[in-house]
Chains A and B, each alone.
Chain A
Amino acid sequence: MHGLKVIFKKELADHFSSYRFIILFSLIGMVSLIISYMVGLTIKNELQGIAKPKFVFLMLFISQGGLFSFVQFVAFFGPLIGLILGFDLINRERNEGTLSRILSQPIYRDAVINGKFLAGVTTISIMMVSIILVITGLGLKMIGVIPGVEELCRIFLYLIISIIYISFWLGVAILFSILFRSVTTSALAVLAAWIFFSFFIPLGANIIAKAYVPDTGGENPEVLIRQASIQRAISLSSPIILYSDATATIIDPTRKTTRSFVLMGPFEKISQERFSGPLTIDQSLLIVLPYIITLIAITVVCFSISYTVFMRQEIRSA
């Protein structure tokens, strides 16, 4: 146990003193601030003189300011945080010969990988918490609305899901840093994985769906539904889509389903149209629970693979 603590402390200190972290943090902090400032400005102007609607605070996170909303921004660029923090955690130490040196001290081999992962997760958490705090503070000042308990709970849940999501990418990065001996290769692999899941799958899903159920000309609802369901099934294999769907429902109480409109069943449509009140937080949570569980599951799977490979790997330097 003490080995884990020592490694954790060192890794955490390393993250916080690295230029990589400082650059990443300022970049993401800056973009988030700009987004929420623009959103805040819009909200403030539009709400001038009228009663504040419910959940106006959450609008800070889900309304688009400029190009993205904050939620979209994290879904898309959040992975880069995890990937950049983790892509060279193991192979750099192997190449510099420090891995064999710490492993010849009396600590368990898993303490190294657990310590590194936990330190990464802690770094990610601190980053996300401080960014969300800053946005909240800015929002308070700009729109002058104090968020209710439920809004705070939703933001908190959003935060937790985001941390799990970015940690998943950290896990992917650590796996690559174990599989590839060269830091450059793992950097490229990590980038490729990000591009694949963020661009390729959403695009590919559309193309495959169209190929599988060809357009028949005109607007055939059956064709549209089948296309949409295939597209959705494929998209769900991307953690980015999983996360976007889950957080959109958590942070937007008026969203009652994670499905798109085309795919709604008749009852869903009726409930959507007739009962337009917002969902309570536990109902929202119920909808996205499978997504959260899936996110945790793929993180665990990814980490277990890293673990198994690392425990069997030859530790000689170079």
Chain B
Amino acid sequence: MNMEEHVIIETEGLTKIYNGQIAVDHVSFKVMKGEVFGFLGPNGAGKTTILLMLLGLTEPTSGKVRVMDIDPTRDAIKVKGLIGYMPENMGFYNDLDAIQTLRFMADLNGIPGKIADERIERALKIVGLEGDAIKRVGAYSRGMRQRLGLAELLVKEPKVAFLDEPTLGLDPDATNRIIELIENFTREKEMTIILCSHFLEMVQRLCKRMGIMIKGRMVAQGTMDALAREKFGLDQNEYTLEEIYMKYFQET
């Protein structure tokens, strides 16, 4: 099979300027089917902005974006149907309980009631919220909200998922469970994932390829080995993602 058929996400010269300030600067990358692609970079590097442009929530200033060959600026509805997005600050309706929250999201996605109910029950079990299913989301802890966000992905069953800091504020056990969940997503559902995180251990474990963003530019992308080779040469073969990342960060 041709490589091109597997391209799920593609950008070329993607640029976003906010009031004269450049937030994303000519970024080009591709994400293949079933892959977990990592976005690394310091705060304000433009990671979230790229995700928003891929979703059609923010209009690019210039450049090309395609998600499964659809242009999100033209056909945002179609793209949003394909992507499950877990934003960095999960906002929930505090007065709804978990089941109501998930059902509302299922309704917005046009998932028929019966299927939605089954998926909701299963999702809550998987993320470990079945005991709190009828508690107001307003009374949830941060980690519980994060889990609810993942449950939402399980209900939507999208082809592509964008996870922006999915493990922020989670306890080690929950973090591990989320990592396992993400592994399952790609293995069983062939889901394509973009993962933004400052938690490099997780990125190292989950992502085969990654891109390093600094000040709006993607300064490097590729497999961890490739990134390491570029910075350390061939002679070193013991390194962590953190060392690589710091190297790029200091040199830019």
Give the distance to chain A from B51, nearest Cβ to Cβ, in Å: 10
A98 near B83 with CB under 8 A, answer no
- State which of B92, B104, B110 has its C-beta within 8 Å of the C-beta of A2: B110
- Residue ID in chain B nearest A106 by CB atoms: B81
Q: Does B93 belong to the interface (CB within 8 Å)?
A: yes
Q: Mark A5-43, 1 if CB is under 8 A from B, else 0.
A: 011001000100100000000000000000000000000
A316–B94 Cα distance when bound, in Å, is 19
- State which of B55, B77, B81, B89 has its C-beta within 8 Å of the C-beta of A317: B89
Q: Does A314 belong to the interface (CB within 8 Å)?
A: yes
Q: Mark B98-140, 1 if CB is under 8 A from A, else 0.
A: 0000001101111000000000000000000000000000000
Chain A interface helix/strand/loop/mixed: helix
Q: Does B85 belong to the interface (CB within 8 Å)?
A: yes
Size of chain B's interface in residues, with CB distance under 8 A? Answer: 25
A96 near B58 with CB under 8 A, answer no
Q: Does A158 belong to the interface (CB within 8 Å)?
A: no
A102–B108 Cα distance when bound, in Å, is 8
- Residue ID in chain B nearest A102 by CB atoms: B108
CB-contacts of A90-108 with B (<8 A):
93, 96-108
A7–B105 Cα distance when bound, in Å, is 10
B57 near A315 with CB under 8 A, answer yes
A315–B95 Cα distance when bound, in Å, is 22
- State which of B55, B58, B108 has its C-beta within 8 Å of the C-beta of A107: B108
Known contacts A96-B91, A100-B57, A100-B87; decide if A106 and B78 are in contact (CB<8 Å). Answer: yes
Which residues in A have their C-beta under 8 angstroms from that of B85?
101, 104
Size of chain A's interface in residues, with CB distance under 8 A? Answer: 26
Which residues in B have their C-beta under 8 angstroms from that of A101?
85, 87, 90-92
A316–B78 Cα distance when bound, in Å, is 20
Give the distance to chain B from A41, nearest Cβ to Cβ, in Å: 42
Which residues in B have their C-beta under 8 angstroms from that of A99?
91
Q: Does B80 belong to the interface (CB within 8 Å)?
A: yes
Most chain A CB within a 10 A radius of its CB, from B90, B91, B92, B95 = B91
Subset of 15 A-B contacts with CB under 8 Å: A6-B108, A7-B108, A96-B91, A96-B93, A96-B94, A98-B91, A100-B87, A100-B91, A101-B91, A104-B80, A105-B80, A105-B105, A106-B80, A107-B108, A316-B58
Enumerate chain B interface residues (CB-CB to A < 8 A): 48, 52, 55, 57-58, 77-78, 80-81, 83, 85, 87, 89-95, 104-105, 107-110
Enumerate chain A interface residues (CB-CB to B < 8 A): 2-3, 6-7, 10, 14, 17, 93, 96-108, 314-318
- Top 4 nearest A-B pairs (CB, nearest first) are A97-B91, A106-B81, A105-B108, A98-B91
